């Protein structure tokens, strides 16, 4: 079995984008019987309000990379060393997605399973237990809002309408947009609204990607889950009950 080592320094992107790349590499190595050297990814600083630099990571801070499974079989990753050359050297990829590269296209489907690291899961459980029976809403505003209708759909007035469709009195909102938070609080008087800074376990976290991973666990444990975008357009098995805008997109 040969080693597979890929240079990804040309890609600087957000969490979901880079996890998609990670899963593509794992699929390729599994299907081609390759030993995967732990790839190093760059997480874009523009999504991380508390850090002024890009994060270089093999995802071990976020994902339990020792328990990844492919088609129900353990998938092992290998440590790098200077004696191993890059199988795929640094190159540009369309939209920074390697699955569109000729090496990775037309691969058959496999089932890849992974969990977040234990600490992320445990903190998520702690917050979920404190919230009780709750609704979770992800409000993403900024880089993904390309159309006026998308911007309108994620305004506080529409967020309130979506929240009021359900009988949950407790709502956790995943957002770091302070102006929107203040407007939502002013509008929504009949619900108990919570944000990350309301919890001692979350308010001092400096890595916004780490915080986001915890919030994904909080979302997973919610009775009602609402995404910013209509995820069912891309994933028919989406576990979300509702969405703020009918446009598709990443969560």
Concatenating the DSSP letter of every residue in 158-186 gives: HHHHHHTTS--SEEEEE---HHHHHHHHH
- Contact present, 162 and 244 (Cβ < 8 Å): yes
**What pLDDT sits at residue 12?**
93
Say how far residue 234 (Cα) sits from the centre of its chain: 15
- Contact present, 7 and 90 (Cβ < 8 Å): yes
**What pLDDT sits at residue 251?**
40
Which string of b and e fits 23-53 if b means at least 16 CB within 10 Å? bbbbbbbbeeebebbbbebbbbeebbeeeee
Average pLDDT, the chain: 89
Q: pLDDT below 50 — which residues of the chain? A: 250-251
Residue 161: how many other CB atoms lie within 10 Å: 12
- Contact present, 29 and 36 (Cβ < 8 Å): yes
List the chain domain ranges: 2-113, 118-243
DSSP state of 236: T
CATH code at 118-243: 3.40.50.11350
**What pLDDT sits at residue 179?**
67
Quick one: which of 73, 69, 76, 12 has its CA closest to 44?
Answer: 12
Quick one: which of 143, 182, 172 has its CA closest to 45?
Answer: 143
Cα dihedral sign, 47-52-54-55? negative
Angle between helices 178-187 and 156-163 (to 10 degrees): 50
**What pLDDT sits at residue 37?**
97
Q: What percent of the chain has pLDDT over 90?
A: 68
Spatial distance between the Cα atoms of 72 and 70, rounded to a whole number of angstroms: 5
Spatial distance between the Cα atoms of 12 and 9, rounded to a whole number of angstroms: 7
């Amino acid at each position: 079995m040969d080693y597979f080592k890929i240079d990804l320094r040309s890609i600087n992107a957000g969490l979901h984008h880079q996890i998609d790349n990670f899963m593509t590499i794992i699929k390729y190595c599994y299907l081609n019987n390759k030993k995967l050297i732990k790839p190093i990814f760059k997480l874009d600083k523009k999504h991380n309000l508390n850090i002024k630099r890009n994060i270089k990571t093999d995802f071990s801070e976020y994902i339990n990379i020792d328990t990844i499974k492919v088609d129900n079989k353990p998938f092992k990753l290998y440590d790098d060393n200077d004696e191993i050359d890059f199988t795929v050297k640094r190159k540009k990829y369309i939209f920074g997605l390697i699955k569109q590269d000729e090496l990775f296209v037309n691969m058959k489907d496999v089932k890849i399973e992974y969990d977040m690291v234990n600490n992320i899961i445990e903190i998520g459980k702690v917050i979920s237990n404190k919230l009780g029976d709750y609704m979770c809403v992800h409000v993403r505003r900024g880089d993904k809002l390309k159309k006026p209708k998308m911007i309108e759909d994620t305004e506080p007035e529409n967020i309130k309408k979506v929240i009021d469709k359900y009988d949950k009195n407790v709502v956790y909102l995943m957002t770091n947009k302070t102006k929107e938070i203040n407007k939502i609080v002013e509008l929504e008087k009949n619900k108990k609204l919570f944000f990350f800074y309301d919890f001692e376990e979350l308010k001092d976290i400096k890595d916004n990607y780490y915080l986001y991973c915890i919030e994904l666990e909080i979302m997973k444990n919610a009775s009602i889950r609402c995404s910013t975008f209509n995820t069912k357009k891309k994933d028919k098995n989406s576990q979300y009950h509702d969405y703020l805008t009918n446009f598709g997109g990443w969560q």
